[in-house]
Structure 1
Amino acid sequence: MSGKNGMRIGKITQTAWQRSVRKQLHTGDNRTMFGPSPWETCSGLESETGGYVWADAHAAGDDERTGYYAVYHAAGELAARGVRAKGASVHVMLPTQGSEEKLGGLAVGVDRACSELDMQVTAFQGEVTGAVRQTVVFASVAGTGKLPLSQKKRVQADCSVPKSLKKGDVHREIVQCGYAGLEGTLRILGESREDLEERFVSTFLDQAEALTGAMVRPEQLLNVFESDSIAVVRQIGSGGILAALWELSETAHTGFEIDMPQIALKQETVEICEFYRLNPYLMTSAGSYLILTSEAEAVVRVLEDAGVSAVRLGAARDQNARVIRNGEEIRYLDRPAPDELERWRAERLKQ
């Protein structure tokens, strides 16, 4: 699905970024920890005491928990870098029909997320504008401290990686923690429970809503770096787990071979996606992660000890091929597709 200007819905593609963004960026500063790339979501400045790192994320929708998910997403991006978020600045854009009651509900969601993640709300601003049709919440979270080895200068403008991460050195496996498509499922449920009640009993939907607790908290994820200081971690964002696999492969400069049946999915996600004819493997799941590690057994163990679901999906390969096995069937991973949550929302807004 594309707009009138030819760009598809959802996150801009790697090709579009390289063609239309990269060529326009000319500034530089040797204090920066990361350089811009199609996949980079964090920013950082080095200092004598360590560094200051921040990440931005947004969430759109009619659910009052929209701000909750925006904060979780941004904090998760920092955690994937090995940094604990300490503060969150939030900006809300409400459509012209937005109410003060709605604004208050969004603030409750933001505060709840920060409370769960042991963060401080450092700023909260909002505006009503005709520029949006649904509420959009922007969250910027920040933390300080020294980065794990794998995160230092990992992604520069040329997408280089430290020598310790080059392929061929050691056997590395891909671990999934959390559940594919879970965040998208929760957000769909939050916006369309009345529709879903035509198909599912209330008990099932209540159980699905409770799955918010299955999202991986940053403090749980940070245990990974105690077992493997050079692990490469990717949050499952726009485009779902298949897009995250592509991005992980691109940033680590490696191919892989995984088993599709090993991908962890909640049954509630499967059934809600079937109801709307959505592909859960292409749906955002902030609060879930992929981990490329040479210490898979130890990483899985430390995550399980922290109360997190973790499974080994497969292994990295020296060749560039990105292989997905499903029994006897073998296929190769395509470039990231548009996110299914965004596609679902676009269709609803047409109605």
Structure 2
Amino acid sequence: MKIGKVPTEILEEVIFKNIRHRRSEVLVRPGIGEDCAVVDFGDKVCVMSTDPITGAVKDIGSLSIHISCNDVASNGVEPVGVMMTILAPVGTTKEDLDYVMREANKAAASINVEIIGGHSEITDAVNRMVITTTAVGIQSKVSMVTSEGAKIGDTVIMTKHAGLEGTAIIAGDLEDTLKGKVSQEIIEAAKDFADKISVVKEGILAGKVGVNSMHDVTEGGLLGALWELAEASGVGIEVYEDKIPVREETLEICNALSINPLRLISSGVMVLAVSEDKKKQLMEAFRQQKIEAAEIGRIVEKDRIIFVGNERKVLQAPEVDELYKVI
């Protein structure tokens, strides 16, 4: 198999097929486009998500916190704590670990999350540091939001701009490669995208408004996340490329490396499906909190389409993220 997430068809045929034992307390189980597990605790539910960081080097501490907390926020939940496992290669120094943990703590504090435990070890099983985090949140059962709730007629909204995380990673880790291809001003501005990686604020806001579905954008980029949201909900989707915000920094860096910004890992971006009667309220809530948001499409009965100019193209399932073509 290629580097990156296990393909959708193999997830279904091998991974999900072999998870057969069930408990009645589990309300949300593994599925395409569903990043969180939800466990019943009476009037409350516990929402959990786990993710590794494998495609970045410089910001691995902060990214590891945000990526799993973003998944929990996609259920409209405020994350409370994070468990953190660090596998570090032989040769890692005390200073390396100190830097990672300082960055992780800074990220956790920025979204009011506590690092509540985990594991750390030096091992020859990896050739660079790998961090896996598991985020935990608590929510009222009646307020649950999942990826599978999109309804026909919903408006599709995205926050921020496509390719956000991937642009930051490339600018930080491949600065020498980019020099001479894009300006230093573009590189420095792109590095600052790392400060926008969290979607906790918009997730909590959207949960309060009452959206039908949310999904944060990770590997596979914006188009992959839109396909996953539609797949999880068993619906179609129509998206308009000319309505998708993409920053100039992302366009220049992606053009220089011949990669597609709409298929580039984009933690920091949330896609949401919201009913017509709540759309205005949601957009106003985002505006008041200075969260960029754009209407980019709608939920339809069956076909999954992206309109590129006057051309109608099939929206494909996520494949290898564009980041792995250059990292």
Q: TM-score range by the shorter chain?
A: over 0.9
Q: Per-residue displacement from partner, 1:169-200 (whole Å, max 9, x unpaired)? A: xx311001121111011112221223223334
For the residue of structure 1 that corresponds to 2:326, the secondary structure is: helix
Output the CA distance in 2 between the equivalents of 1:243 and 1:112. Answer: 30
Q: Per-residue displacement from partner, 1:49-93 (whole Å, max 9, x unpaired)? A: 402221111112563311211211111100101111011111111
| Shift in Å, 1:302 | 1.2
Structure 1 residues 335 and 204, CA gap change in structure 2 (3 angstroms): closer
For the residue of structure 1 that corresponds to 2:135, the secondary structure is: strand
Q: Match of 1:9, as an amino acid?
A: I
Say which of 98, 119, 132 aligns to 2:113.
Answer: 119
Structure 2 contact 217–225 (Cα < 8 Å) conserved: yes
For the residue of structure 2 that corresponds to 1:265, the secondary structure is: coil
Structure 1 residues 32 and 104, CA gap change in structure 2 (3 angstroms): same
1:194 equivalent to 2:188? Answer no
Q: Which residue of 2 aligns with 1:256?
A: 237
| Shift in Å, 1:296 | 2.4
1:298 equivalent to 2:281? Answer yes
Q: Match of 1:299, as an amino acid?
A: L
Q: Per-residue displacement from partner, 1:22-68 (whole Å, max 9, x unpaired)? A: 22112111111211213332122211240222111111256331121
Identity within the alignment, %: 21
Structure 1: gaps of 5 or more residues: 1-6, 156-160, 346-351
Q: Match of 1:48, as an amino acid?
A: G
Q: Match of 1:146, as an amino acid?
A: S
Structure 1 residues 150 and 126, CA gap change in structure 2 (3 angstroms): closer
Q: Match of 2:73, as an amino acid?
A: A
Structure 2 contact 162–269 (Cα < 8 Å) conserved: yes
Structure 1 residues 90 and 150, CA gap change in structure 2 (3 angstroms): closer
- Give the number of equivalent residue pairs: 325
Q: Which residue of 2 aligns with 1:93?
A: 87
Output the CA distance in 2 between the equivalents of 1:127 and 1:278. Answer: 35
1:128 equivalent to 2:122? Answer yes
User: TM-score by structure 1 length?
Assistant: 0.87
Say which of 267, 290, 295 aligns to 1:312.
Answer: 295
Aligned pairs for 1:177-326 within 5 A: 177-227=159-209, 229-294=210-275, 295-318=278-301, 320-326=302-308
Q: Match of 1:256, as an amino acid?
A: I
Q: Which residue of 2 aligns with 1:348?
A: none
Output the CA distance in 2 between the equivalents of 1:274 and 1:327. Answer: 19
Output the CA distance in 2 between the equivalents of 1:173 and 1:265. Answer: 19
Structure 1 contact 258–324 (Cα < 8 Å) conserved: yes
| Shift in Å, 1:277 | 1.6
| Shift in Å, 1:201 | 3.7
Structure 1 contact 149–230 (Cα < 8 Å) conserved: no
| Shift in Å, 1:321 | 0.7
23-32 or 217-226: bigger deviation = 217-226
Output the CA distance in 1 between the equivalents of 2:79 and 2:181. Answer: 39
Output the CA distance in 1 between the equivalents of 2:297 and 2:55. Answer: 35
What is the root-mean-square deviation in Å for CA atoms of aligned residues?
Answer: 1.9
Q: Match of 2:113, as an amino acid?
A: M
Structure 2 contact 48–136 (Cα < 8 Å) conserved: yes
Structure 1 contact 174–296 (Cα < 8 Å) conserved: no
Q: Which residue of 2 aligns with 1:349?
A: none
1:34 equivalent to 2:25? Answer no
Output the CA distance in 1 between the equivalents of 2:70 and 2:206. Answer: 13
Output the CA distance in 1 between the equivalents of 2:170 and 2:119. Answer: 25
Output the CA distance in 2 between the equivalents of 1:212 and 1:76. Answer: 14
Q: Per-residue displacement from partner, 1:207-264 (whole Å, max 9, x unpaired)? A: 222223333440233111232x242001001100111011011112211212101111
| Shift in Å, 1:274 | 1.7
Output the CA distance in 2 between the equivalents of 1:240 and 1:62. Answer: 15
| Shift in Å, 1:8 | 2.3
User: TM-score by structure 2 length?
Assistant: 0.93
Structure 2: gaps of 5 or more residues: none
Structure 2 contact 171–188 (Cα < 8 Å) conserved: no
Aligned pairs for 1:16-165 within 5 A: 16-61=10-55, 63-147=57-141, 149=143, 151=145
140-149 or 25-34: bigger deviation = 140-149
Q: Match of 2:164, as an amino acid?
A: L
